[in-house]
Chain A
Amino acid sequence: MLKVNNIEVVYSDVILVLRGVSLSVESGQIVALLGANGAGKTTTLKAITGLLRTQQGKVTRGSIELEGRRIDRLSPDGIVRLGVAQVFEARRLFSHLTVEENLLTGMLFRPESLRSPAVRNDLEQVYHFFPRLKDLRRRTAGYLSGGEQQMVAIGRALMARPRLMLLDEPSLGLAPLLVQEIFEIIQRINAESGVSMLLVEQNAAVALQIAHHAYVMETGRIVLDGPAGQLMENADIKEFYLGLTQLGERKSYRDVKHYRRRKRWLG
């Protein structure tokens, strides 16, 4: 499905951020990309979606292929048209639009009209995965809770009828219970609609639960990869796990600073 071959990414012509990253996503799989703050996970996704260019970033070496076709020279909307939809880091909804309008922005590139049966059907599909959104559909997106916003962000990507979905830290800032809920839904979407997924996460525990395969990234390089089950047994990863379980037990935990500290488990 997706093949990233040894790419190097440079920002502003001088800041080397990815130093030869290779990974692949097989059709129908969930592949996790794990790593600490600043490892280059989001940059990898931006290289795939073509959004690097708007931020003075460039793929200076290597190639990216989608089903055998090179996409690293295409424009972002061209890549979306090939069936790659993304769920942005920190959700990035159109905060003044309603929930349903936000969902509909995901299909704007498609030829159907807003009120066509196919599009109505896709909306129902989103509401099937996220029943809560149906009641919220006329609400202004900016005022939803973080969890609800994450559901809209995933729903918006679904409206593109993607073959490959890129998810950037869907657990960010959510309470552990909600993280569980969202990840179960992500798994169901993958199982029911067969869409392949590249899932960027810092929360290795939940990501490895639903992923088939995983890569671990550190300062712009892939340092470890393997089937998710195998990685769970890996000693290094277990160490983070320990950290995670300890923190995971404190469910009432609200303090942002601690949250950030937890996020630094790999670095």
Chain B
Amino acid sequence: MNWPLVPQQVMTGILNGGTIALIALGIVLIFKASEVYNFAHGHLVMLGAFLTWWFAGAEERGGELFNLPLWAATLAAVAMAMLLGLAIERFILRPMTGQPVLAIILVTLGLAQFIEGGASILFGAQPKSNFPTPFSPSDVIRIPFPGAFNDTIILKQSLVASFLVAAVASALFILFFQYTKTGLAMRATAENHDVAQGVGIRVSRIFALSWAIAGVIATVGGVLLATVTGVSLNMATVVLIAFPAVLLGGLESFAGAIVGGLIVGLSQALVQASRNIEVRNSAEIVPYILLLIILIVRPEGLFGQKRIERI
């Protein structure tokens, strides 16, 4: 371990974890509502980032239709993602109602491929370096920290900002679920579709709404990622990092997704503080190793709902 690097990596890890947590939340949302693990969520994240980039003026191709400031481009992309979410539910998932879960999961994999193909045709397969981030890489915050490398922790402003936005978005999301009427309808539906229908909840609307919200938070996550790393088709692989976060938290728990996201961000960053190059290169699999250990000890995940069974 390279100890002077640890404070820096802890901070960076937590900040990275914010966006991972937000992305994990979207996966948990769909899983709770309909017991579908949405393998296309990462592609929604990627598409959201591309749409924002496009609405903000895709000057690379010289054919820009829009030239919106970042906030407006994000709003426009969010609106598109919401419509896309509704369309996915209506035209892809609803016709699959009653099919085996495996079939539905495979459909989400197909959807992922479809989005990837569509995005590469519409926007080109090249990574875009001109995402309109309000920060330049040299915008940093220096925090004095005795014992750290150079006695300071250096944080990119873009990373701090994306963490704050992710935190606010996650908080809004959870408050919505806990305290609004629609949130209650969604939680009831998550528990039992038949009974939810029996008390008068329009379950198909709840599914549609879940997909719309998933589209929205995926887009926000995509914009946050893009401000830190730029836009590319590869962004979709963020699900590979969100996946252990979701499972760590227990698949059905929003709090679990957030904690899982932070743990994943933290573990990946801490590995970078190692002196051993082999260890540093293993950042990708560290969350999976952690996942394995935690699932052996607690099969329902850190925050998983124990099935309540009174006999």
Contacts and interface: CB of A to CB of B under 8 A. Distances in A.
Contacts of A96: 187, 191, 305, 308
B200 A114 contact: no
Interface stretch (A19-27, A74-82, A181-189, A205-213): A74-82
Nearest to A109: B200
A105 interface: yes
Nearest to B205: A77
A36 interface: no
Interface string B181-201: 100110110011111111111
Contact of B191 (A49, A77, A94, A108): A94
A54 B191 CA distance: 16
Nearest to A54: B194
Contacts of B180: 114
A104 B187 CA distance: 12
B61 interface: no
B214 to A, nearest CB: 21
Count class of interface residues, chain B: 20 to 34
A97 B200 contact: no
A61 interface: no
User: Interface residues of A toward B: which range?
Assistant: 20 to 34
B173 to A, nearest CB: 18
A159 B191 CA distance: 19
Contacts of A146: 310
B199 A108 contact: yes
A80 B202 CA distance: 11
A105 B185 contact: yes
B194 A105 contact: no
A92 B188 CA distance: 11
Interface centre among B179, B188, B194, B199 (most CB of A within 10 A): B199
Contacts of B181: 108, 113-114
Contact of A94 (B192, B197, B200): B192
B200 A160 contact: yes
B182 to A, nearest CB: 9
B200 A108 contact: yes
B197 A108 contact: no
Given A95-B308, A104-B184, A142-B308, A86 B191 contact: no
B32 to A, nearest CB: 11
Given A140-B308, A142-B308, A143-B310, A105 B198 contact: no
Contacts of A221: none
B239 to A, nearest CB: 27
A94 B185 CA distance: 11
Interface string A114-155: 100000000000000000000000001011001000000000
Interface of A: 49, 51, 54, 76-77, 80-81, 85-86, 88, 92, 94-97, 101, 104-106, 108-109, 113-114, 140, 142-143, 146, 156, 160
25 contacts: A51-B194, A51-B197, A54-B193, A54-B197, A76-B197, A76-B198, A76-B200, A77-B202, A80-B198, A80-B199, A88-B198, A92-B195, A94-B187, A94-B188, A94-B191, A95-B191, A95-B308, A96-B191, A105-B188, A108-B181, A109-B199, A109-B200, A109-B202, A114-B181, A156-B199
